[in-house]
Amino acid sequence: MGKVLSLSELKKEIDSLKAAGKRIVFTNGCFDILHAGHVRYLKEAKGLGDILIVGLNSDSSVKKLKPTRPIIPEAQRSEVLASLAAVDYVTIFAEDTPYELIRTIRPDVLVKGGDWKKTDIVGSDLVPDTYSLPYANGISTTEIVRKIRDFHK
């Protein structure tokens, strides 16, 4: 079994991991152009438990959030995320938010980047152990895209 799983595959795996006493950490995002800020964040998130699951916004859900994106298709984004040592599993979700995904898998820890207030993190009402990790200043996909566009003007 690979690291990129459907929700039903992931649920079975999580049930087994929880039965073995593993602490499950969940985060989500678009991860459109993976950069050092993402890598640092994912390593830190993994440090909060035993297993890190990334809920990846599908192409259609990214478009709803950011009309000019994604730049990288979901299959490639999931492959890149799955290649990281800190990431144990990736699952793609098409909904506007990961709320139902979080409700289904019931992680022990919920994590987002520092640009999110803890009270605004989707699913924080379901997962009391919720964290907003420090944001890597000056490193963002939006900034990288802006630099590329400026370069080609």
Inside any domain, residue 2: no
Whether 126 maps to a domain, the answer reads yes
- The pLDDT of residue 47: 97
pLDDT digits (tens, 9 = 90+) for 103-112: 999 999 999 9
CA distances to 22, 53, 92, 94 from 29, rounded to whole Å, are 23, 11, 10, 12
* Predicted pLDDT at 1: 65
CA atoms within 13 A on the CB side of 115: 10
What domain count does the chain have? 1
Q: What is the DSSP string of 121-138?
A: STTTTT-SSEEEEPP-TT
CATH number of the domain at 118, please: 3.40.50.620
- Let me know if residue 118 belongs to a domain: yes
Structure tokens at 132: 């907003």
- pLDDT tens, position by position, 30-87: 999 888 889 999 999 999 999 999 999 999 999 998 888 899 999 999 999 999 999 9
Asked if the structure places residue 1 within a domain, the reply is no
- Judge whether 53 lies within some domain: yes
Residue 113 predicted with pLDDT over 80: yes
93-97 mean pLDDT: 95
Q: What is the pTM of this model?
A: 0.92
Containing structural domain, residue 39: 7-151
